[in-house]
Amino acid sequence: MTDRFQKLQELFDNQKYFKMICGAGNEDLEEVKRLTMIYTLAGAKGLDISATPSVVESCMEGIDRAFDISGSLGINLKTRPYIMVSVGMPGDHHVRKAFIDPETCIKCGLCVAPVCPTEAILPIKVGEEVAFVIEGKCIGCGDCSAICPKPEIISYTHNDKALSEILPKCIELGAENIELHAAIADDEQIMKEWKIVNESNPNGHNSMCLDRLHLGNFGLEHRIKSAKDIMGDRLIIQADGYPMSGGEDNYNTTLQAVSTADVVNKAFNMRLNKKTKIIEYKKYKEVNILLSGGTNSLTSTLANQSNVRFQGVSIGTFARNLIYKNIKEKYDYDDKGFYTDMGNIKEAYRIAKTLVEANVGEVNE
């Protein structure tokens, strides 16, 4: 075992692993660089990005910038975050791209930013121009199709990647973990892809992101058993509530993530005490669990109140939205003045750190 492998397991054991999700489909290099810089400063120990070599390079640049300026901000960074690259199966929302049919678009402009959270659909002249999707910025969230007046206008394509070629390149560039978004019903195809993930990263932790929409509780348990047979103790299960739904900061939004983790715990990390007839946690857990999907500043609080154990918290939409005013509104992505405005960077850092510590407590930066 490497020191980095053991350190990550220590973070899991101590519930100190906070992962910021840039988006499995987010290939906006400048956005990734800024997000990863701020959340590295804030103490995040995981950064989840698209499995695209150029995105891995941008993430590495963001981490390096954070370490370069940390001293001047009075921040003592000690541990480089673990980079996790995400890939997914056709049918999983995390890795899809929206497509607007130019023949059927009614030019209403309802789908454009700020409805589109990543500005993948730019403002148009209403009634004159057809909206179109900037593929590299689209994260497949579904906000555009939810507001579109006609269902036939917007469809989705799978962001296909040749995993056996792209994943080793990402690992070579600095990624240490891989996540497979596997929230579909096809067990056979999932396990084929999971074997490729294992072969691409045979010595590190790898994650399978699952929800209960297609699987149900028994299907979820079966999928995890199959994944564990291949990955063993290196397995991470990301218990997804409602993917990409973290817009609100309340208990209801994060409820399903905690509920999914509870199902996984009861199947793998708990047992029935025959004397007391009470289900209790085992001394040694079988599966590491990350909370995700609708996660926010209250996720850890709800899980602890419900006695649902977890090894880390993954936050995407909510974490990104918190600091968009600092990383995107004050300085557009072509304006490098962002990197010299230490007051703005420090404000974003403080906002992000508050979220990190709300979920994993005080961090040893």
pLDDT on residue 184: 78
Q: Which alpha helices (H) appear in the chain, and where do they start and end?
A: 3-13, 29-41, 53-70, 143-147, 163-173, 187-200, 216-231, 251-264, 299-305, 317-324, 342-360
pLDDT on residue 1: 58
Q: Please, which pLDDT band fits residue 6 given cuts at 50, 70 and 90? A: very high
Q: What percent of the chain has pLDDT over 90?
A: 75
Whether residue 91 has pLDDT greater than 60: no
**Span 182-206, pLDDT tens digits:** 877 778 888 999 999 999 999 999 9
Interior CA angle at 353 toward 348 and 357, to 5°? 160
**Span 245-281, pLDDT tens digits:** 778 899 999 999 999 999 999 999 999 998 899 999 9
Task: Judge if the upstream peptide bond of residue 102 is cis by omega within 30 degrees of 0.
Answer: no
Q: Give 107-113 contacts, CB < 8 A, sequence gap 24+.
A: 107/131, 108/149, 110/147, 110/148, 110/149, 111/143, 111/144, 111/145, 111/147, 111/148, 111/154
Q: Please, which pLDDT band fits residue 148 given cuts at 50, 70 and 90? A: very high
Burial code (b: 16+ CB inside 10 Å, e: under 16) for 68-86 equals ebbeeeebebebbbbbbbb
What is the pairing mode between strands 17-21 and 46-50? parallel
CA separation for the pair 316, 248 (Å, rounded): 12
Give me 216's structure tokens.
């149900």
Whether the full predicted model's pTM is greater than 0.85, yes or no, is yes
**Span 47-86, pLDDT tens digits:** 999 999 999 999 999 999 999 999 999 999 999 999 999 9
Interior CA angle at 17 toward 256 and 248, to 5°? 35
Q: Please, which pLDDT band fits residue 213 given cuts at 50, 70 and 90? A: confident
Q: Please state the separation of Cα 291 from the chain's center in Å.
A: 10
DSSP 136: G
Whether residue 298 has pLDDT greater than 90: yes
Q: Which of 312, 168, 288, 189 is nearest to 231 (CA)?
A: 288
119 touches 132 (CB < 8 A)? no
CA separation for the pair 111, 131 (Å, rounded): 8
Q: Which of 64, 13, 19, 14 is nearest to 44 (CA)?
A: 19
Q: Please, which pLDDT band fits residue 164 given cuts at 50, 70 and 90? A: confident
Residue 172: which residues within 8 A CB-CB, separation 6 or more? none
Whether residue 227 has pLDDT greater than 60: yes
CA separation for the pair 159, 63 (Å, rounded): 26
Q: Please, which pLDDT band fits residue 365 given cuts at 50, 70 and 90? A: low
